[in-house]
Amino acid sequence: MESNTLWAKVIESLHGSDRKVEAFPFKKSRSGVWKNIGEIGKDFSKRNININTSLCSKVGRGDKTLFWVDTWYGSEPLRTQFPCLYQLSTRKRAKVQEVYKIVNGGILWDWTWSRAPSSGEEKAEMESLKQNLQKYDLSVNEDVWVWKQSEKEDFSVKNVRLSLDRIIDINSEPNQFYWNKWATAKSTAFVWRAIDEKIPSAVALANRGMEISDTSCKLCGEDNEDAVHILMKCNFARRVWDGVETWTGLPMTNDVNNVKDLLKRILDSNRSQCKRKFLHAIAIQTMWLLWKNRNDKIFSGRRRTVQMLIEEIKDTSFLGVKQRSKHRSITKQQWWEFSFNL
């Protein structure tokens, strides 16, 4: 529920103050644009930007700011600064204006507790909270939301972008992965992860802290098992790629050192656009089946021969093209000979 309030403030700042905070329709179960907006916080966290503390309220009369949950006094929400009092509060989502009264021109803070603060820690937090709030000047103005690194200005997307620019190297080359719809979604996602060594190879698991006594390849035993080795450099994988190259007539792996460069070479090859897309889908399917073969060997003791795997690549890639492309007139014989005019 806290994401509702947080992102409602962003939308309010962008579209005006007449939008009600409680009306923001983000839920984890929802799909579409609001869910995407709600997920932005996770991406920011990966960049060491905490939206809950970076987006702060300059409280006026306290009409748009949650007393315990939002960041408005200090660098953290009050629930973090005063955890014992937060646990005692019966109105954890009360706005600031709901926990004070103006009496004879002065401010009287009025909380509702499940029981009165009694322990030494609770009393110390109570005293500290009162002293801090005495220093805060409330006003008749509306609350204003600001980005912490630009507190003199109202919230703006520009200020958020400036914060990101300080962290992200905008000159770095992005991972421009081509999502080929003629290959299965599962195999394409797998290869996308393999480019950044994010598949659970022995080396990757060891790097994540898992105790693995032997990280060598279980198929050839010649080198450590990382994504590039499994999919390109293993002796078994090389023989499979030789068969694919003989079938399609396009050299793929002779002097390529990683998955990304292999796929780029295919897309940059001197073939028609359609055939380049066919070859790209075949390469993705080849890597997916090499991975499945590796898993079958490790977990069930089953191991295909090179010829068996090549035939499976031909069959499954043909089925994918027939189901997901507009070139349904291609026959199986034409596909196996890789001979057609497109």
Chain segment 35-58, per-residue pLDDT in tens? 554 555 555 555 555 555 667 788
pLDDT at 149: 53
pLDDT at 39: 57
pLDDT at 4: 46
Segments of the chain scoring below 50 in pLDDT: 1-28, 30, 33-34, 37, 155, 163, 167-168, 170, 172
Contact 163, 149 (CB under 8 A): yes
pLDDT at 236: 95
pLDDT at 250: 77
Q: How does DSSP classify residue 142?
A: P
Cβ neighbours for 128, distance < 8 A, ≥ 6 positions apart: 82
Cβ neighbours for 54, distance < 8 A, ≥ 6 positions apart: 44, 147, 148, 149, 163
pLDDT at 48: 56
pLDDT at 1: 41
Query: Helix or strand or coil: residue 137?
Result: coil
Which residue, among 106, 3, 9, has the nearest Cα to 64 in the 3D structure?
A: 9
pLDDT at 177: 86
Contact 201, 268 (CB under 8 A): no
pLDDT at 21: 38
pLDDT at 43: 58
pTM here is 0.53
